Amino acid sequence: MAPLPPRTLQARDRAIPLGPRTLVMGILNVTPDSFSDGGRSARPDDALINARRLVAEGADLLDVGGESTRPGHTPVPAEQEWARLAPVLAALTAEVSVPISVDTYKAEVADKALKAGAHIVNDVWGFAHDPDMARVVAAHDAAAVVMHNRAEVDETLDIVQDMLAFFEIALEKAERAGVKRERIVLDPGIGFGKTFPQNLAAIRRLDELRVLGLPILLGTSRKSLIGKVIETTPAERLPGTIASNVIGIMAGVEIIRVHDVAAHVQAARVAEAIRDAS
C-alpha cells in the first residue's frame, strides 16, 4: 500500500505534519493499574520525569491517560480520572513542546483536558460511548483519534468490514457535530473487542482502511496478541511490538503509539528508508 501523500493534522493551534515520517506517540499512563506500566507514572512527579524522558527519546506526541482501558479494567469515575490528569496536564502543557493527546472516552474529562491545553482527544470508543464527545472536540477545534472498539467479541465477523462500518458511523457523528475531517485519525483498536486472529488480521489488512482516506494510528505496544504468538510478559514484548509496528509503517500508518520510544524512533527511520527507497 502506498502511504497517503504528506498532509497536516490540525489540532487546535498546532499543525502536525503527517508522513512520510511516522510520528511516534509516547504513552504516559497516569494510572495505578495499566497493564504494562501501571504505577510508573501514577504520581505527578514521576509522570513528569517519564514524560521528559519520552520527549528526550524522540516522542513526537504524548498520549496521557488517567484510566486503564485494558480488557477487564476497573472503570474510574470522571472526577477521579480528572484528579489524576489535572496536575500532570498542567505541568506538561507549560513545559513540553510536543502536542498532547488525552486518552479518555468521557466528554467531561476531554473538555477539561482541552481547557488545560491538550490538543488531541484519543477516544477508545470512537465517539460511540459518550454522545457529547464529538461536540466537545469540535468546540475546541481539537483533533481526535477515533478508535474501533466492540463491547462483545464476535469471532464470526470480518473485522475489517466491521471497522469500516464503525468508522462510517463515527464520521457521520463527527460531521454532524462540526468536527472537520482533517482533524480525524482512525485507529483499528488492536486488542479491543477482537479475537486473536482478528487482531492479527487487523494489522495484516491495514491497507483496507485507506478507502476512508484518513490517517491511521496503530497501537500494539506490549499487547497480549504478542504474548499469544510467543509467551512473554508485557515487559518482554519490545521485539514483537517493533515487528508489528514495522508492518504498520510499511503499510503507511502515520502514527504509532508506543511505550518504548527510543527503540521505535530507530525502527521507524529504518523502515521508512526502506519503504520509500526508489
* Phi and psi angles of residue 80, each rounded to the nearest 5 degrees, phi first: -70, -40
Q: How far is the CB of 40 from ligand HH2 (least distance, A)?
A: 11
Among 124, 133, 174, 186, binds ligand HH2 (CB under 6 A): 124
Q: How far is the CB of 84 from ligand HH2 (least distance, A)?
A: 11
| Cα 230 from chain centre | 24
* Residues within window 154-173 making contact with ligand HH2, judged by CB under 6 A: none
End-to-end Cα spacing for the chain: 15
Residues 204-233 that bind ligand HH2 (CB under 6 A): 217, 219, 221
Shortest Å, Cβ 155 to ligand HH2:
20
- Specify the residue, 70 or 269, whose C-beta has the smaller distance to ligand HH2: 70
Q: Which amino acid is at 222?
A: R
Is 187 one of the binding residues for ligand HH2 (CB under 6 A)? yes
Kindly provide the b/e burial profile for residues 95-119, where b requires at least 16 CB atoms within 10 angstroms of the residue's own CB: ebebbbbbbbbbbbbbbbbbebebb
Sign of CA dihedral 120, 128, 150, 203: negative
Task: State the Cα angle at 254 between 178 and 94, rounded to 5°.
Answer: 70
Gap between the Cα atoms of 50 and 67, Å rounded: 17
Name the residue with cell 482478528. 198
Contact residue for ligand HH2 among 22, 41, 50, 68 (CB under 6 A): 68
Residue 223 falls in the annotated catalytic set: yes
Sign of CA dihedral 156, 161, 166, 172: negative
- 248-277 residues near ligand HH2, rule: CB under 6 A: 257
Closer to ligand HH2 by Cβ: residue 55 or 190? 190
Interatomic CA distance for residues 49 and 163, integer angstroms = 37
Nearer to ligand HH2, 103 or 208 (CB): 103
| Annotated catalytic residue within 84, 112, 222, 223 | 223
By CB under 6 A, tell whether 238 contacts ligand HH2: no
22, 31, 244, 245: residue in contact with ligand HH2 (rule CB under 6 A): 31
- Cα–Cα–Cα angle for 50, 53, 57, rounded to 5 degrees: 140
Nearer to ligand HH2, 33 or 156 (CB): 33
Candidate residues 22, 29, 41, 241; the one interacting with ligand HH2 per rule CB under 6 A: 29
How far is residue 266's CA from residue 133's CA, in Å, rounded to a whole number?
35
Q: 35 vs 166, which CB is nearer to ligand HH2?
A: 35
Task: Judge contact between 26 and 55, C-beta under 8 A.
Answer: yes
Q: Is 122 in the site for ligand HH2 (CB under 6 A)?
A: yes
For residue 257, indicate whether it is catalytic.
yes
Q: CB nearer to ligand HH2: give 197 or 276.
A: 197
**Which of 84, 135, 194, 257 is labelled catalytic?**
257
Work out the angle between the directed axes of helices 78-95 and 44-56 (0-180°, nearest 10).
Answer: 50
Question: Which residues lie near ligand HH2 (CB under 6 A)?
Answer: 27, 29, 31, 34-36, 65, 68-70, 103, 122, 124, 145, 147, 187, 189-190, 217, 219, 221, 257
Residues forming the active site? 223, 257
